[in-house]
Amino acid sequence: MKLVVGIVKPFKLDEVKEALREIGVAGLTTTEVEGFGRQRGHTEVYRGAEYQVDFVPKVKVEVLCGDDQADGIVDAITKAARTGKIGDGKIWVTQVEEVLRIRTGERGADAV
Amino acid sequence: MSEGPTPSEMAKRPEQVARLLDRLRALNLAYSPGHHGRWSAARRAGLFDVCLRELFAEGDPPAGVAMVALGGHGRGELAPLSDIDLLILHPGDRPAEVAAVAEKILYPLWDAGFAVGHAVRTVPECTAVAVERLDAATAMLDGRVLTGDEAVWREAHASVLRLVRDEPWAFAGRLLADAHERHGRFGSVSHLIEPDVKEGAGGLRDVCSLGWLAAAVADPGGPEGLEAEGLLGAAERQALDAAQEFLVRVRSALHLATGRATDRLYLDQQAEIAHSLGFADEPGLRAVDGLMRALSEHARQVEHVVANAFNRFLEGGSQPEVVPSPEGVLRAFASLARERGVMSPATLDLIDAVELPAPVEWTEGVCEAFLEILRAGEEGVRALEAMDRIGVLERFLPEWAPIRCRPQRDPYHRYTVDMHLLQALGGMARLLGDAERDDPLAVEAAGLVSDGDALLLGALLHDIGKTGEGNHVPASARVAAEALDRMGLPEPTRELAAFMVAQHLLLPDTATRRDIGDEDLVLDVAAKVGVPERLAALYLLAVADAGATGPLAWTPWRAALVRELVTKVQRVLERGDMGTETAEQLAERVRTLRQLLATEEPGEVDRFLLRMPRSYVLTVPPDEIAAHVPLVRKPIGASEVRTISGQGSREGTFELTVVAADRPGLLSWIAGAFTLAGLSILSAKVFTTEDGVAVDVFEVEGLFERDVGEERWRDFRSTLRKAMEGRLRLAHGVAEKRKRYPAPRDEFPIEVAVHNDASDFFSVVEVGTTDRIGLLFEVTRTLQELRLDVRLAKVATYGSRVVDAFYVRDELGRKVEEAQRIDEIEGALRARLEGLSAAPGAPPALAPSAS
């Protein structure tokens, strides 16, 4: 089992959701997150008032899946979230040791 | 409901308790679960009384012992699964015997599954515990002797009463502090989607607290006593009475439905409770929402009336003058807001006597008084709440009625619609004042606003059409427009407030759901907003709205996105790239274009407009755009070149539109192909469609002869195609061509600069130098080598001096902001231009100049 984590631009969330739905992903978790990568923060100015934006708002998408699905999910997120501009985000995949569905007590692949 | 006893338990059970269980069961079944109000609660208490008296008598108590029902049982209000709270009073000389009596009473009840709390005390112990613990004191204030020595109870009760009556202010203060702490823990009945009808703010415990206040300050106590003391109005007492009955019914229905002594109305029980209380689905209001609406309504009355009574006792009621007219009523509330007071019951009666037509006609005075209330901020909100509770607000604002107490079922909203609007109004008043200095943007925005009234009205009305039907934004815009029209406001105020309501989601929705790095999107928002004051108004409303929604709505995450959008739109407005005039111009151009393309299918025109950048529609004249439509419509091949030519801006110049699949370097190839075709470029406007097709409009003239015909365009197209296919080295061709002509006579200094303040989306590379053959080719080629994407080029020729400006972004779509990179760009361009002036070749003296 794997956990696919994607950090994407907020306005891309709907497209990512839709792309994942199309390849049959049944469940995902999203979180509003802030951070910075190469894009860094920046200073905004409004009528002379300056304020520092240290962290850029992004959305984190997490999908738990079987080993064979991870590539497809990575592809789908990449295609949907890509604008070609700075700040498109990142995706990483980690190995998951154990999964348990709380309601039924199912474990492992059954619980994904 | 508690489970019925099994037959074997029945055998052991004392008959009094078995009878009690039977009778309770019968009582529970006697009415439908939604109709167990206070009568049923009193009856239930009576059934317990009978059983307890029998058990007490059987225990054969010694003299001087009394059994007292405390709390809810004492008041005669027992919900189906309420706890029983008993006090055994005794003289203190025979504790063992008293303990035995208590056991005889309690064990059978415990065995039968009743939750019975008990205390065994002497009179001095009662006094001591009442001093120490507020809940013990209030439980005894509600106490009622069931049986035994009544004199000993009278003594105990009198001592507790003395305690609270000796220092009624301190007692009232303790009650308030306790309520405050309780409300913090359980939340509010009127706001929460899963309220606790007993302990929450506006719940049954608050009703009780009024009884305790009455015991301390009035003789006799009770609501009537408070009314006699001038602490409670007659209408308030009635509202409280109705609320209490409703709350008891809900709580009882909840006990019966769940079989548990729970007082929190969870979502999954609401449908059943709604049904049992007789609520049915109505258009725009489901039965559950009807229940929650009624519950909220009653709970708010409880909160309001209880707070009024306490405040009148602790601070004294306000008695502002009431001129008997609609304006007079508003003035009274305005002065209440100024004084931060609570209406005295006498004043409420005066207001009640004023005839208020429904709806009230808005005179200038009414309008001014209403605005005065709004301007009072937090206190104004309290005044509006007070007006709402006595039904006065909707006389002035009939639009208020449909949203009163209307629950909002989404994860963000904590409050009912009307509560949310009042909170937003309070938030807006704070933003316009100087309370919130932690948001520099809000401070600046507030400074930009000259019409605070409009902002207060916009905040108050922004969700006024949220009645559960359809999209609430247009509905609110419509309803607010009607209300604002009636108010007789100055036109700019009316207009700004109406605009705010209609666009109140523009900033948050755009910022969180759209790509704010897209210039056209920002231009569109700027076009909708038009002027900086409106932008400031929308930002402040977004903050106030979110703050009034709940803690989840205005997170730093959301704030960062909205602020970034605001700063971008503000700069677009400041620079005049877009604004009211430009927006009108844009709309006008689109209208003209539609007329010109009347024969086209309308959907075709829409699709075309969607593909084209706003700057294209704004800079290219509609008749030319109309000619471009067929050129752009069909998908274009990789090395296909389409052109269309027309007259230039003056005699001897031509306009050529070039359409090709966009790619890095295209602009430089076009420039090079022009040079080889013997054409000099006077101006260039470069656009790219959404789907990557370059639509570039050039004004050119012949380098040597004025007449340029179709043959030359064909020449140009074939040169460009060859360059695109890699079959022709333009750099070589252009250099060869340049060599054949003498250098220009005047030399101008080479000026190269990168500016970043002209746009949020592009850096502007400015190049000034002496005009030469193939100059634009050389510059754009250099930009391409620097991996810069040229979005817009402005080419201007002054005699033999050229000043070109290129709007560029780097390969990742960013502006160029690092000093090192800027140096690199300036250096590369300078080097290339210096190389040109060192080499021979320039336009011939014969060539017509653009000046």
Contact at CB, A9 and B440, closer than 8 angstroms: no
> Within the 501-540 window of chain B, which residues sit less than 8 Å (CB to CB) from chain A?
512-517, 532
Residue of A nearest to B757 (CA): A45
- The mean pLDDT value for B33-53 works out to 95
Percent of chain B having pLDDT more than 90? 58
User: What pLDDT digit, counting tens, does each position of B46-98 carry?
Assistant: 999 999 999 999 988 988 999 999 999 999 999 999 999 999 999 988 888 89
Is the model's pLDDT at B713 over the cut of 60?
Answer: yes
Answer yes or no: do B444 and A49 touch at CB < 8 A: yes
Find the mean pLDDT for residues B343-372. Answer: 90
Q: Shortest Cα distance from B439 to chain A (angstroms)?
A: 9
Work out the pLDDT band at B6, boundaries 50, 70, 90: low
pLDDT tens-digit map of B547-575: 888 767 788 888 989 999 999 999 888 88
Evaluated on CA atoms B554, B557, B560, B562, the torsion sign reads negative
Average pLDDT over residues B236-258: 96
Q: pLDDT class for B847, splitting at 50, 70, 90?
A: very low
Q: What is the least distance, in Å, from the CA of B466 to any CA of chain A? A: 25
Give the whole-angstrom CA distance, residue B487 versus residue B550.
Answer: 30
User: What pLDDT is stored for residue B53 in this prediction?
Assistant: 95
Contacts of B557 in chain A (CB under 8 A): 32-34, 57
Expressed in percent and rounded to 5, the helix, strand and coil fractions of chain A are 30, 40, 35
Under the banding of pLDDT at 50, 70 and 90, the label for residue A42 is confident
- Asked if B219 reaches chain A (Cβ–Cβ under 8 Å), the answer is no
For residues B570 and B539, the answer to whether their CB atoms sit within 8 Å is no
- Say whether B558 and A57 touch across the interface (CB within 8 A): yes
Look at B813 and A83 and tell me if their CB atoms are within 8 Å.
Answer: yes
Q: Which residues contact B430 (CB under 8 A, 6 or more apart)?
A: B377, B378, B436
Return the pLDDT at B11.
47
Q: Residue B2 pLDDT more than 60? A: no
Place of tokens 């599954």: B113
Residue A52 has what pLDDT? 78
Residue B316, pLDDT score: 84
Asked whether the predicted pLDDT for residue A73 surpasses 90, the reply is yes
Contacts of B441 in chain A (CB under 8 A): 46, 49, 51
- A60: chain B residues, CB-CB within 8 Å: none
Nearest to B686, CA basis, from B761, B755, B783, B620: B620
Query: What's the pLDDT band for B843 if we cut at 50, 70, 90?
Result: very low
Nearest CA distance, B788 vs chain A (angstrom) = 13
* More confident: B747 or B411: B747
Contact A57 B557 (CB under 8 A): yes
Q: What is the dihedral of CA B790, B791, B795, B801, to 10 degrees?
A: -30
Among A47, A83, A85, select the one facing B570 at the smallest CB separation: A47
The pLDDT tens digits of the residues spanning B736-793 come to: 888 887 777 767 889 999 998 888 888 999 999 988 888 999 999 999 999 998 888 8
Is B341 or B180 the better-scoring residue by pLDDT? Answer: B180
Q: Does B545 score more than 50 pLDDT?
A: yes
B11-20, B443-452, B577-586, B646-655: range with highest mean pLDDT: B443-452
**Mean pLDDT over all residues of chain B?**
89
> Which residues of A are less than 8 Å from B556 in CB distance?
34
SS3 state of residue A32: strand
Is the pLDDT assigned to residue B427 strictly greater than 90?
yes
Please compute the mean of the pLDDT values over residues B664-680 and round it to a whole number: 91
* Chain B residues within 8 A of A51 when measuring between CB atoms: 440-441, 563
| Residue among B719, B724, B813 at smallest CA distance from B763 | B813
The answer to whether B677 and B716 have CB atoms below 8 angstroms apart is yes
Are B680 and B703 spatial neighbours (Cβ–Cβ below 8 Å)? yes
- pLDDT band per the 50, 70, 90 thresholds, residue B850: very low
Proportion of chain B above pLDDT 70, given as a percent:
96
List the single residue in B443, B448, B567 with the smallest CB-CB distance to A45. Answer: B567
> What residue of B is the nearest CA neighbor of A86?
B812
* B438/A contact by beta carbon, under 8 A: no
Residues of B in contact with A44 (CB under 8 A): 563-564, 567
DSSP 8-state secondary structure symbol assigned to residue A2:
E
The torsion of the CA quartet B726, B732, B735, B737, rounded to 10 degrees, works out to -80
Across the range B698-720, mean pLDDT stands at 86
User: Which pLDDT value is given to residue B435?
Assistant: 62
B535 in Cβ contact with B573 (< 8 Å): yes
pLDDT of residue A39: 65
Q: CB distance A46–B515 less than 8 Å?
A: no
> Is the pLDDT higher at A61 or at B32?
A61
Measured between beta carbons, the chain A residues lying within 8 angstroms of B813 are 83-86
Secondary element (H or E) of residue B535 = helix B532-547
CB of B444 within 8 Å of a chain A CB? The answer is yes
Which residue has better confidence, B9 or A85?
A: A85
Could you give the CA distance from residue B641 to residue B719 in angstroms, rounded to a whole number? 10
Q: Which of B443, B557, B570 sits opposite A32 (nearest CB)?
A: B557
Decide: helix, strand or coil at residue B809.
strand
**pTM of the full structure:** 0.79
CA torsion sign for B633, B635, B637, B639 is positive
Output phi, psi for B387, to 5 deg.
Answer: -65, -40
Q: In chain B, what is the straight-line distance between the N-terminal and C-terminal CA atoms, in Å? A: 97
- Residues in chain B with CB shorter than 8 Å from the CB of A88 are none
- Checking if the pLDDT of B841 tops 60, the result is no
* pLDDT computed for residue A4 by the predictor: 97
Which chain A residue's Cα is nearest to B440?
A49
pLDDT band at B526 (very low <50, low <70, confident <90, very high): very high
What residues 795-834 of chain B have any CB closer than 8 A to a CB of chain A?
A: 812-814
